[in-house]
Structure 1
Amino acid sequence: MAEIAPTPDAFDIEVGTLIVGAGACGLIAALAAHEAGQEVLVIEADPVPQGSTALSAGLIPAAGAALQAEAGIADDAARFAGDIQAKAKGENDPALVAALAEGSAGVIDWLSTRYGLPFSVVSDFDYPGHSRRRMHGLPSRSGAELIDRLRATVEAQGIDLLCGRRAEILYHEGRTITGAGLRAPDGTRETVGCAKLVLACNGFGGSRDKVAAHMPAISDALWFGHEGNRGEALDWGTALEAGTRHLGAYQGHGNVAHPHGILITWATITEGGIQVNREGKRFWNEAQGYSEAARVVLAQPGGEAVTIFDARIAGIARQFEDFRNAEAQGAVRSADTLDELAAQLDLPADALHAEMSAITPGETDRFGRLWGETRLAPPYCAVRVTGALFHTQGGLVTDGSGRVMAADGTPFPNLFAAGGAACGVSGAGDSGYLSGNGLLAAAVLGRAAGAAAL
């Protein structure tokens, strides 16, 4: 349980900057703090850093990055900020949106050139809501690779990383944080004093009570994030009278292979795929995005759908390690005809034929989806999917440097939050989630929070 308490008489150890959480946000914050000359300790509850980052595709959107320019993609922060606000219906803090958009290119360039992370731009398909191709990922297109490379980089820099320690208490004197109380797996406790604290411990999706309280529409969804995301940052912030905002914002995902529990890239849709329910009927405009899909898919009979695409699209999707794993586990079905595909998935073949025939290239369908010129063609592919809750925002209000703001609008002197612990730029619900927003906030705010001087 997350608690706050007065400063003890003495701490077991003391550091300059203490970072709670070793996901992408915490590790990036550690690199930035170390580079700024700070003495850094990162603590992580898991035996090995992973978090929700490891469950994602590990893609970070960035506008105006060097790799974009090399790929011939013209982009800038203003366009990116406009895309973020358009997806969230203008519900975000404009200053925070600007800070993230303007910092996006710098963080990718920094990780690429300073630390040698081999990013490249996903240049063969579009993500919903992005007006330019700006998603940057590592070769495997997996968050597990991103975490592993960041951890190895942190270790190579000689930064202390202590795993198997869960922060349970924040010590404070008024609004000044003085340290944290940790618990080891064997139950023993230790205290760490610090001059600066960065909360990089993600949101509260692993707490079913908090999810039900703040986002009841998605409370019955499969929780696909890390079970350690219990909302400690929110609990500490609330106890310290920090400001909170958009606690109902979340990223859903309506394309999780079922029952395999593997994320299927939305390229299966954006390149021309469709979703049908158990009756073989389409039920919405799939082009809206995978976060919106979670609720819509869950509302179908049995809370599931079938995503249908073809071999051409499968070739694009295969750049993602998750998709390759799904194929290896038999989640991806294929057939030379729609009748064979329908039989494999127990779908009414006549309904499936009718839906495919109703799609006219270059025209807008009855759901408002505008189709491209390329039709699905045999061999066909399909995955049975369900809707999931992938991550929530911790909701702590911060400025553009990640400094936590109190409810009265004044800043805490030495408390920072970033990534899932902070209020991000997904608006107030699920419809404002722009692909990559979570890792964007983790990378940009994490870097800013780590580098910030007191």
Structure 2
Amino acid sequence: MASPDVAEPPASFDLTVETLIIGAGAAGMVAALAAHEAGQEVLLVEADAVPSGSTALSAGLIPAAGTQFQTEAGIQDNAERFAQDIQAKAHDENDPDLVASMASTAAPVIEWLARDHGLPFSLVTDFDYPGHSRRRMHGLPTRSGQELIDALRARIETLDVPLICNRRAIRLYSKENRIFGAQLQLPDDSTETIGCARLILACNGFGGNRTMVSTHMAEIDNAVWFGHDGNRGEAVAWGQALGAATAHLGAYQGHGNVAHPHGILITWATITEGGMQVNCQGKRFWNEAQGYSEAARAVLAQPGGTAWVVFDSRIAAVARQFEDFKNAEKQGAVLAGESIAELAKAAGLPADALANTIGDIPNEGTDAFGRLWSGQTPPLRPTYHAVKVTGALFHTQGGLEVDPATTRVRRAAGGSFDNLHAVGGAACGVSGTGDSGYLSGNGLLAAVTLGYLAGRA
């Protein structure tokens, strides 16, 4: 549970640094690398035993427009088109200046991480993500968020940027709208105080705080929590206690393609490449092209709160570039059948209904649910595959309002704090007011761009 514990600063601190960063996920570590490069004295603190966060649970893909990787792939893209895609998905509910800032910063950050820090990014070129008008997803070889976290941590350690784990921030020290430091709790429940010239909150959102989830997004309250349990909402609670402005607290990223009961993310490429979702009656129930965030509510509304994603061996070959999918296969989550009847038997689905559902997919045009089929995607052919899935909450997208250029936290009464920043899930993102505004990669987009801007501010 988040505790908005704010107090006046003590007479002295156990340690004082220039820039204190709370949270060592992708946002915090990118901020630390940028601040270190700018010549600042940095201390990065993490509540867990090792850096992890929501990033480690993701596919680790970061969208960016106009990168060298796109150019090498023959893809013409720019920040303006990227910003338009973000706003279109979010129904123009975002702060346009924040969208423009993230869209224009993403490519420089990707290239900086690749060039200066050796992260081996490459572009996903074999399938499209819903809402993106260009292929702009960049990831590391295994397409794993854990690989991204490990690579960032390796750079932190190589550059001797101070990182201390097993330290949870439990109190902020503030006076006259200025932050003076934080109190940290150690594993033995003892505490220490760290003074700072400025503070960067990189402690993510509040998806692990069920009370806050119920308050702000009750429609997803029964979803599997697929994020990091450390996302307790401290940043929002501290901000509100300090008089900070918040925005879009009902926004979140859901996902309706999590293997059940295995708890493994099944890539949405299983859908975009021509697959579909069916319920326990073997029938489709919605337009899957809307996106995987909206899929969480759609799947949870089905009997038992589950569904089946159905695809074929061609699509499975595309999905295997993701480590999660290979793990799902190893654990037996991916069923197979040489015929529709054989697959239906393995999944416990009505064979005739499943055959009719697959047969009703048009070669080209719009189906009964409004999904457009381009005519370029081959129909499903043996071997057929299916995975039982459920809906999940991945992470919240609302948070503290920040200045788009500096990431300084805005006050509810106007203006901004002089030395308080929020990045990643601690800040309001660019996913609109609910779940349908989430564009693939928005979470890590906010993490790396805001982290970079905060570090260099």
- TM-score normalized by the length of structure 1: 0.99
Aligned-partner Cα distance in 1 for 2:53–2:69? 27
- 1:12-46: CA deviations, max 9, x gaps? 00000000000000000000000000000000000
Shift of 1:394: 4.7
Residue matched to 1:388: 392
Size of the aligned set, in residue pairs, is 452
Aligned-partner Cα distance in 2 for 1:316–1:69? 22
Shift of 1:399: 1.1
Residue matched to 2:428: 423
Instruction: Provide the identity percentage.
Output: 67
Shift of 1:372: 3.1
368-377 or 276-285, larger mean C-alpha shift: 368-377
Residue matched to 1:17: 19
Residue matched to 2:96: 94
Letter in 2 for 1:161: L
Residue matched to 2:360: 358
* Contact 1:4–1:169 under 8 Å retained in 2: yes
Structure 1 residue matching 2:80: 3-state secondary structure: helix
* Contact 1:282–1:355 under 8 Å retained in 2: yes
Aligned-partner Cα distance in 2 for 1:179–1:80? 37
* Contact 1:204–1:393 under 8 Å retained in 2: no
Letter in 2 for 1:397: E
Residue matched to 1:413: 418
Residue 406 of structure 2 corresponds to residue 404 of structure 1? no
Shift of 1:371: 1.2
Shift of 1:409: 2.5
Aligned-partner Cα distance in 2 for 1:105–1:436? 13
- 1:36-58: CA deviations, max 9, x gaps? 00000000000000011000000
Structure 2 residue matching 1:325: 3-state secondary structure: helix
User: Which of 432, 436, 440 is the matching residue for 1:435?
Assistant: 440
Residue 452 of structure 2 corresponds to residue 447 of structure 1? yes
Residue matched to 1:122: 124
Shift of 1:363: 1.6
- 1:77-127: CA deviations, max 9, x gaps? 000000000000000000000000011110001000011100000000000
Shift of 1:376: 0.7
Structure 2 residue matching 1:177: 3-state secondary structure: strand
* Contact 1:233–1:394 under 8 Å retained in 2: no
Aligned-partner Cα distance in 1 for 2:281–2:394? 27
Aligned-partner Cα distance in 1 for 2:358–2:186? 56
Letter in 2 for 1:199: L
Residue matched to 1:41: 43
Aligned-partner Cα distance in 2 for 1:158–1:212? 41
Residue matched to 2:266: 264
Residue 400 of structure 2 corresponds to residue 375 of structure 1? no
Aligned-partner Cα distance in 1 for 2:221–2:149? 28
Aligned-partner Cα distance in 1 for 2:398–2:440? 18
1:19-418 counterparts in 2 under 5 A? Answer: 19-373=21-375, 374-400=378-404, 401-418=406-423
Aligned-partner Cα distance in 2 for 1:166–1:254? 32
Aligned-partner Cα distance in 1 for 2:159–2:397? 30
Q: Which consecutive unaligned segments of at least 5 residues does structure 2 have?
A: none
- TM-score normalized by the length of structure 2: 0.98
Q: CA RMSD in A?
A: 0.6
Structure 1 residue matching 2:307: 3-state secondary structure: strand
Shift of 1:408: 1.9
* Contact 1:242–1:406 under 8 Å retained in 2: yes
Aligned-partner Cα distance in 2 for 1:252–1:394? 13
Aligned-partner Cα distance in 2 for 1:127–1:196? 38
Structure 1 residue matching 2:365: 3-state secondary structure: coil
* Contact 1:272–1:372 under 8 Å retained in 2: no
* Contact 2:257–2:295 under 8 Å retained in 1: yes
Shift of 1:405: 0.4
Aligned-partner Cα distance in 2 for 1:165–1:20? 9
Aligned-partner Cα distance in 2 for 1:268–1:192? 47
Aligned-partner Cα distance in 1 for 2:69–2:114? 9
Letter in 2 for 1:350: D
Moved over 6 A (4+): none
Letter in 2 for 1:414: N
Structure 2 residue matching 1:114: 3-state secondary structure: helix
